[in-house]
Amino acid sequence: MADYNTLVSEIVSRVMAEMQGTAKEADMLVPVGVSNRHIHLTQEHVETLFGKGYQLTPFKDLSQPGQYACKEQLTIIGPSLRPIEGVRVLGPTRKASQVEISRTDSYVLKVKPPVRESGDIAGSAPITIIGPKGVVTLKEGCIIANRHIHMSLDDAAKFGVKDGDYVDVNVEGERRTTFYDVQIRANAAFRLEMHIDTDDANAAGIGNGFKVKMVK
């Protein structure tokens, strides 16, 4: 009887440990947000493209607090003279205008954008933005956004990382892969989400809400 009770106790302990391990692993997963091509504008460029005094029209809140997609869409064009239409503007307005595209888009436009953190546009590719009331040509401002994970400071503590760190991310599924050099962007106002562009999402066969595992 003692042996039976010992065996049951061992089985229960093992099952509980496995369940706790599974729960811990689930806590360490990061939801994915797929970012399509988009545009950030200064208020000056908003008025150049849409008219004097024009204000962007919020359409849908994004995952990060205070960020939103606008109803406004514009056309971008590069040296190929093959336009890409219907590029969504994101709000609110910024101190510098910026266009974020994928590598595939760059082939269509024939521009050579660097892979950068959003906002780091010094020396980046030129691009022209066409609106209903005007045209803006950026001498620099076209980038491919680097892979990054937004997280709160509490999440950063839980994951054992800090703002500016770089990690790897494992993706399970039919097209199992690993994303390397994913930047951590930690801020009290951020919500946990990994941002990748459409090229990365399609290559890995994943979409919005898919859960990936961060590897330090």
Model confidence pLDDT, tens digit, residues 40-61: 999 999 999 999 999 999 999 9
User: What's the Cα-to-Cα distance from 82 to each of 79, 105, 108, 136, 209, rounded to whole Å?
Assistant: 8, 10, 7, 17, 32
Give the pLDDT score at 23. 39
Range(s) of the domain holding residue 103? 34-145
> pLDDT tier at 4 (50, 70, 90 boundaries)?
low
Q: For all residues of the chain together, what is the average pLDDT?
A: 92
Residue 107 lies in a domain: yes
The pLDDT of 76-101, averaged and rounded, is 97
The pLDDT of 206-213, averaged and rounded, is 96
Cβ atoms of 212 and 196 closer than 8 Å: no
Judged against a pLDDT cut of 90, whether residue 173 lies above it is answered with no
Quote the percentage of the chain above a pLDDT of 70. 88
> pLDDT tier at 22 (50, 70, 90 boundaries)?
very low
> pLDDT tier at 145 (50, 70, 90 boundaries)?
very high
Give the pLDDT score at 122. 97
| C-alpha to C-alpha distance for 154 and 159, rounded to whole angstroms | 9
For residue 111, give the nearest of 79, 158, 153 by alpha carbon.
79
Judged against a pLDDT cut of 50, whether residue 131 lies above it is answered with yes
Judged against a pLDDT cut of 50, whether residue 38 lies above it is answered with yes
Across the chain, how many H-helices and E-strands are there? Answer: 5, 14
Residue 129 lies in a domain: yes
Residue 187 lies in a domain: no
Residue 132 lies in a domain: yes
Cβ atoms of 196 and 207 closer than 8 Å: no
Residue 118 lies in a domain: yes
| Total number of domains constituting the chain | 1
* Angle formed at CA 6 by CA 4 and CA 10, multiple of 5 degrees: 115
> pLDDT tier at 212 (50, 70, 90 boundaries)?
very high
**For 80, which DSSP code?**
T
| C-alpha to C-alpha distance for 148 and 206, rounded to whole angstroms | 16
If phi > 0 it is left, if psi is from -120 to 50 it is alpha, else beta; for residue 160 that is: left
Residue 44 lies in a domain: yes
The residue behind tokens 């937004």 is 150
Return the H-helix or E-strand segment holding 24: helix 2-27
The pLDDT of 154-159, averaged and rounded, is 95
Residue 160 lies in a domain: no
Give the pLDDT score at 174. 87
| C-alpha to C-alpha distance for 12 and 50, rounded to whole angstroms | 66
| C-alpha to C-alpha distance for 1 and 178, rounded to whole angstroms | 50
| C-alpha to C-alpha distance for 169 and 192, rounded to whole angstroms | 14
Judged against a pLDDT cut of 50, whether residue 162 lies above it is answered with yes
Residue 86 lies in a domain: yes
101 residue type, one letter: I
User: What's the Cα-to-Cα distance from 184 to each of 66, 119, 156, rounded to whole Å?
Assistant: 19, 15, 8
Judged against a pLDDT cut of 90, whether residue 101 lies above it is answered with yes
